[in-house]
Structure 1
Amino acid sequence: MQRRTEIPPTAGLPLRWRDLLPRPPRLAKRAASFLGSDDALLTCSGSAALVIALRALHAMAPSRREVVMPGYTCPLVGLAVRRAGLEPKLCDTEHGGFGFDPRQLEATCNERTLAVLPTHLAGRVVDVATISHIAGNAGAFVVEDAAQALGARVGDDSVGMQGDVGFFSLAAGKGLSIFEGGLLVSRRPDVRRAMGDVQQPWRLDWELRRSAELLGYAALYHPHGLRRAYGDPLRRALARGELVQAVGDDMPDGLPFHRVGRWRNGVGSAAIGRLPAFLAAGNHRAARRLPRLRAIHGVHVFGDGPGQHGTWPYFLLRLCDRATRDLAMDALWTGGQGVSRLFIHAMADYPALGPIPGDVPNARDFAARSMTISNSPWLDDVTFESICRVLERVARARP
């Protein structure tokens, strides 16, 4: 029998009707307190946050124009680099993972490098200390892409506070969402001043659109509403063979750039108070389910290293080969169970981005073998076990 509900691919904090009531716009202040930062800058998206950070850093080092990105990351990162008027450059990932290969990074950075962008993907924490050392030797800044890692920590410190700049996303489905939004933090007063000098214009048309979308998100972000808002469009895209559109990797015509209005700011101000408890529940749920996933032959689940305390919006898996991953996705992707893929391609393989310098075979291999399983509270134990059994079955089917 076909499911009448849909599990989202990532665990986002549901909004409550009380969050929608008008209230003082204090999201940046409350986010800064949550992150342990002196200040935070609210932006209209994570991509806009990156644009602001890069424009500010370029003003501080105008002779540098290259921004080094991992070969596997969100394609909007490349779009944001170009929107900032800079040149994206790729560095391959470590074999079997999504973090920078340190030796490749050292070879990639030079006197033209403005910034290096390590990515805390899937709530997992990457080694920023090593990256900062390599970038520092080249005189470059470090911008932490923590779009998917709001609440993740290294020791007692938030991600985003180890490099020169950190940015977070408040998009739909993220741990905290105002439908589209972003946050910028920096431990450096000079960088914070430079970012504050980048103007965010007021655009009533965009803010009205985002406000309407946020109301729709508040109404439909539950298993029944998501069937129509997310699941049915997903299955139509898959039926057409449009994988990029299915996961939302398709490029917009441009990146909106405007200030966030008072109402959406207030919605986030109200919701952020529930975020620590929501993340703690997700961590507990993940701890219960990780052993089951890790017991499946041929499945690697990314987790935390020593001193790292990530968040768990979803489980990021690497399977033994592409054929096994594809068998699993054929069996699970259209079932409404919260199984998905993250980014369809390595960064070098999105035609809409155009050519980007850098050879990234490890990133291509990771894109070919990875998949995700939601850690949403709506994914019950029975459904989770059924997913695990499919993974076991496809693993046995491969020689």
Structure 2
Amino acid sequence: MLPRRPHELPPTAGLPLRLGDLRPGAPALADNLAALLGTPPLQLECSGTASLLIALTTLRELQPQRRRVVVPAFTCPLVAIAVQQAGLELELCDLRHGHCDMDSAALRAACDERTLAIIPTHLAGRVADVGDALAVARQVGAYVIEDAAQALGARRDGVSVGLAGDIGFFSLAAGKGLSIYEGGLLLARDPLLRERLARTAARLVPHNSGMEWKRRIELLGYAALYRPRGLRLAYGNPLHRALRRGDPVAAVGDDFPLTIPLHRVGRWRQAVGAHAAVRLPAFIDQLSAQAQRRLPRLRRIGGVELLDDPTGAHGTWPFLLLLLPDQKHRDAALDLLWSSGYGVSRLFIHALPDYAYLAGIVPARDVPHARDFAARSLTIGNSPWMTDVDFEAACGALEAVLR
């Protein structure tokens, strides 16, 4: 293990909030982000997962005879929970070997006349292959929902992700670019579908002042502590405790409740997001430039595979996602780096079938490529606080492991 840094680097690069962001203002977050991203009107919800739940419920009502939702076998456990809460059936699709996109042959085998939706995922800010999902969806009459929870601001051919499919959604959770601590955004090209999504939300989402006050307090905590000094308290110490008790699922925050809370986002949190959103394009550019400077250094380390964007795509870079040759080397790298404060972590601990607490939700499936991805992957934070010296220390640790 490297000597622990005096202050904790975040594993993901969130836009730091400023004192001025906390002043009251117009609740114009959704409109402002639509203008920044060049999208149709955006629908603000209390989380990215709530956005997905509303999308799935809407599509279920449009196609009640279809019940299956096809998702990558390596993705956030909240996706599986949303499918269950929407009253639908989860169908897993294995990944391409060594990549987070769904395998083309496995996707075609997973889809038929029972398929309601396919959910390609822009994981880690990388731009996914939505075209393959669209082609399969057209063949079987299904919808495509783009999971862009980790990719707010990513583009393909100059157009925001989330617009190639029928529906897209973004997350505004802690550490995901722009944050109002918890929030989500829904988008759809078709005005009639946008109207249906809004009607579903109006019916399902209650006002809950207690939950909104909780989120306000959490947002104040995020504004105060999302910086290296504060993250030792808010992130580093809980991480150490989880690792000491041998609980990697808790260490990365994969231990979610099995019910997704729904409530309306209040005016003040919307105003905070709107104030901060004006800095988002410059922040995304800053992270992209930093990543492009650092990717060549990682590519010079034998045995490291990096995930990048396809031609014509420009993802966001909340962190750098890489694969090591095998689980033994990945675990050795984490032994050196995970608890040392350098912003090195894991994305998700398991492929979806391997979370014990999801056993009643996720079907047992043989998904070898997803399990291989979970076993070999790690992430390196790309926050503005990650200095060149810090990054070189992380690279040196990887080189030591891979010699």
TM-score by length of 2: 0.97
Q: How far 1:57 sits from its partner (Å)?
A: 0.9
Q: How far 1:4 sits from its partner (Å)?
A: 2.2
Mapped partners of 1:364, 1:328: distance in 2:
18
Mapped partners of 1:388, 1:37: distance in 2:
38
Deviations 1:189-247 (A, max 9, x none): 12111101112211111000000000000011110000111000001100000000000
Kept after mapping to 2: 8 A contact 1:251/1:352: no
Mapped partners of 2:287, 2:298: distance in 1:
16
Q: Does residue 377 in structure 1 map to residue 379 in structure 2?
A: no
Q: Does residue 216 in structure 1 map to residue 221 in structure 2?
A: yes
* Greater CA drift, 355-364 or 7-16: 355-364
Which one-letter code corresponds to 1:173 in the other structure?
G
Q: 1:10 aligns with which of 4, 9, 12?
A: 12
Runs of 5+ in structure 2 lacking a partner?
none
- Equivalent position of 2:195 in the other structure: 193
Alignment of 1:347-358 (within 5 A): 347-355=352-360, 356-357=362-363, 358=365
Q: 1:104 aligns with which of 98, 106, 110?
A: 106
* Greater CA drift, 355-364 or 250-259: 355-364
Alignment of 1:1-399 (within 5 A): 2-198=4-200, 199=202, 200-355=205-360, 356-357=362-363, 358-396=365-403
Kept after mapping to 1: 8 A contact 2:93/2:106: yes
Deviations 1:246-291 (A, max 9, x none): 0000022521101100000111111111000000000110111000
Q: How far 1:145 sits from its partner (Å)?
A: 0.3
Which one-letter code corresponds to 1:369 in the other structure?
R
Q: How far 1:305 sits from its partner (Å)?
A: 1.3
Mapped partners of 2:258, 2:320: distance in 1:
31
Q: Percent identity?
A: 58
CA RMSD of superposed structures (Å):
0.9
Mapped partners of 2:4, 2:299: distance in 1:
29
Q: How far 1:130 sits from its partner (Å)?
A: 1.5
Which one-letter code corresponds to 2:331 in the other structure?
D
Which one-letter code corresponds to 2:224 in the other structure?
A
Q: How far 1:2 sits from its partner (Å)?
A: 4.0
Kept after mapping to 1: 8 A contact 2:342/2:390: yes
Mapped partners of 1:135, 1:209: distance in 2:
40
Mapped partners of 2:22, 2:60: distance in 1:
38
Kept after mapping to 1: 8 A contact 2:81/2:258: no
Kept after mapping to 2: 8 A contact 1:57/1:194: no
Which one-letter code corresponds to 2:208 in the other structure?
R
Mapped partners of 1:129, 1:363: distance in 2:
20
Kept after mapping to 1: 8 A contact 2:4/2:341: no
**3-state SS of the aligned residue for 2:338?**
helix
**3-state SS of the aligned residue for 1:197?**
helix
Number of aligned residues: 396
TM-score by length of 1: 0.98
Mapped partners of 1:226, 1:44: distance in 2:
24
Q: How far 1:16 sits from its partner (Å)?
A: 0.5
Which of structure 1's runs of 4+ aligned residues deviate more than 4 A?
none
